[in-house]
Amino acid sequence: MAALGALYPHPIVAREGWPYIGLAVAAAGVATWFAGWGWSVPLWLVAAFILQFFRDPPRTPPAGAKLVIAPADGRIVSVERTHDPYLRREALRLSVFMNVFNVHSNRSPVDGTVREAWYSAGAFINAALDKASLDNERNALWIRADGGADVTCVQVAGLIARRILCYVRGGEYLRRGQRFGFIRFGSRVDVYLPADAQPRARVGDKVYGGLTVLAELVS
């Protein structure tokens, strides 16, 4: 069964942003018409910011069956051995923090089948903090990779983010780098891997969803 995300390739500007961009451009256009360019410049800057926020460039992931690819653009804020609260196991967790200038599309870190999805309501504290992984609103996907490894990919809302969007559910197949969701306005994505996975990214690294290798699976 084809995943819903496969029906949405990459239109350069994310569909989630079209209403916001339309409203911003319309407001700037009206201000220009009635008040002139001098008064409308701030509104055009807002429209430009919204346009860059919702950009959604196509990505081609590197080859390698055991490679785990970044699910989002941003910076690595955590690489640690910890407990996976969804699959209840010891795991390697890598966390990517997205600020408002990063691409906010979320992409599958591995080739595999979605076994289950969990949504949890929560707070909206700064997503750069570790406690956001368990305290904030979040949506988790359990993906069984083609090689058999279990991967948990968690979308975490942030201080400003108020909407997590996920377009896949249990039973759907995801290709590595395939778009499966979006988080609006600053957030975090956690990836829990088997404890024996080998990290390839370090805290502070800048990563790109669908492109950067985060880790390598052993089994």
Residues serving a catalytic function are 187
State the Cα–Cα distance between residues 68 and 191, nearest whole angstrom. 9
Radius of gyration of the chain (CA): 18
3-state secondary structure of 215: strand
CA angle 9, 165, 135 (to 5 degrees): 140
With CA atoms as reference, report the closest residue to 109 among 179, 49, 45. 179
- Continuous segment of H or E residues that includes residue 18: helix 18-35
3-class secondary structure for 40-72? HHHHHHHHHHHHHHCEECCCCCCCCCCEEECCC
Task: Name the DSSP letter for residue 197.
Answer: P
With CA atoms as reference, report the closest residue to 145 among 103, 87, 184. 87
Six-digit token string for 192:
């829990």
Q: Is 81 exposed, middle or buried (0-12, 13-18, 19+ CB in 10 A)?
A: exposed
